[in-house]
Structure 1
Amino acid sequence: MRTRTTTALVAAVLLATLTACETTPDEDTPAAGPKASATPTLTDEQRAEVREAAGLPSEPDAVTATEFIKALDAIDPRIADGKNDKAISRGLNQCSSIKDFGKDQDKLATLALGRFTIDTRLPELNTPDTGTKINDAVHKHLCPDF
């Protein structure tokens, strides 16, 4: 239930940001000027607030991100597969699951396998042991406080 609430909160914040940023000149208004960008620009503070509301830790610094990718590569280099930004994003999202499910290691392992698409991309690695190793790497490098 908490996941739905925080997801709904994040969606509401993002939707409000999107609608606040979009402007459309009236057809009757000549030369309304340049149209505002449809892509919202969030400040670092706003991003941090959205991440906190979603139960996600802050973005890792370069050293931490590198160590996290090294930990995934030690499990199997195909997990990150050179897509480090995507792997970090998935890891940060897994932190939310770690926070929500706590000590339910079986559930967390299953979620990690799905989140990192091991279950579909790398079926030979689709084991609880791999999911647990991924969670250990996520917890150690991205959200040690969870």
Structure 2
Amino acid sequence: MSDSQSGFGRLPAMSRYALIAIGVLVLLVAAVAVLSGGGDDGAADDGAASQFQDQTSTEGEPMSEEEREALLDEAGIAPEPDAATADAYLAALDAIDPEIDGDDPESAISRGRDTCRTIHDHPDDRAQQIEQTNQRFTHPDHPDGWGRETAERILDAAHEHLCPSY
């Protein structure tokens, strides 16, 4: 298709380039907006549990802690562990291999809670639970995970300490 057939032939060359530049700019702005979450207030995503932070009950009153915990449990999101539970879980990981939690116990706890979601979502698929755990728990020395046997032990530690009701 020639420029005269497309309608660009009637525009001076500089106008064509300006239109193309504006089109590219609009696409870039749209792509950035989509990739950054579409213009939320700039707050970082705190994970799936954050969607339940400011919920209200069916009566329009603020949600009680019990109601919030029930919703989280129903969604398969393990509650934040208290200090004793977190310590027991981290000790269980250290007994498997001290490098699993490394220098980042918060990350190990977060991964454990994510593992609870897998247990909740796939209660009868132990192989899926192990595979997801192996993919989730990586380390610079173990970029492909710790292997099936260790992943199974990590899975059991998360289940026992972070979400025994699943």
TM-score normalized with structure 1 length: 0.63
Q: Give percent identity, aligned residues only.
A: 35
For residues 55 and 97 of structure 1, the distance between their equivalents in structure 2, rounded to whole angstroms, comes to 8
Matched with 2:136 is: 115
What is the identity, as a one-letter code, of the residue corresponding to 1:100?
D
Cross-structure match for 1:137: 157
The 1-side partners of 2:74 and 2:43 are apart by: 21
Residues 1:64 and 1:124: Cα distance change in structure 2 (over 3 Å): same
Displacement of 1:122 after TM fit? Answer: 1.8
Q: How many angstroms does 1:53 deviate by?
A: 6.7
> Are 1:82 and 2:103 an aligned pair?
yes
Contact persistence 1:57–1:143 (CA under 8 A): yes
Aligned partner of 2:158: which letter? Answer: V
Give the Cα–Cα distance (whole angstroms) in 1 for the partners of residues 51 and 120 of structure 2.
25
Match for residue 46 of structure 1 among 49, 54, 57: 54
- Specify the alignment match of 1:69 in structure 2: 90
Larger radius of gyration: 2
Q: State the TM-score, normalized to the length of structure 2.
A: 0.57
Provide the secondary structure at the position in 2 that maps to 1:46: coil
One-letter code of the match for 1:133?
A: R
8 Å CA contact 1:106, 1:128 repeated in 2: no
Residues 136 and 107 (structure 1), Cα distance of their counterparts in 2 relative to 1, 3 Å cut: same
What is the distance in 2 between the residues matched to 1:140 and 1:46? 29
Q: Which runs of 5+ in 2 are unaligned?
A: 1-36, 56-67
* CA-to-aligned-CA distance 1:43-95 (integer Å, 9 cap, x gap): 98438578457421110000100110000010000110021000000000110
Per the alignment, residue 33 of structure 1 pairs with none
**Structure 1: tracts of 5 or more residues without a match:** 1-14, 23-37
CA–CA distance in 2 between the matches of 1:68 and 1:116? 14
The change in CA–CA distance for 1:52 and 1:46 in structure 2 (over 3 A counts) is farther
Q: Aligned pair count?
A: 113
DSSP-derived class of the 1:90 partner: helix
Partners of 1:129 and 1:85 lie apart in 2 by 23
Aligned-CA RMSD value: 3.3
Instruction: Identify which of structures 1 and 2 has the higher relative contact order when contacts are C-alpha pairs closer than 8 Å and 6+ apart.
Output: 1
Q: Which residue of 1 aligns with 2:23?
A: none
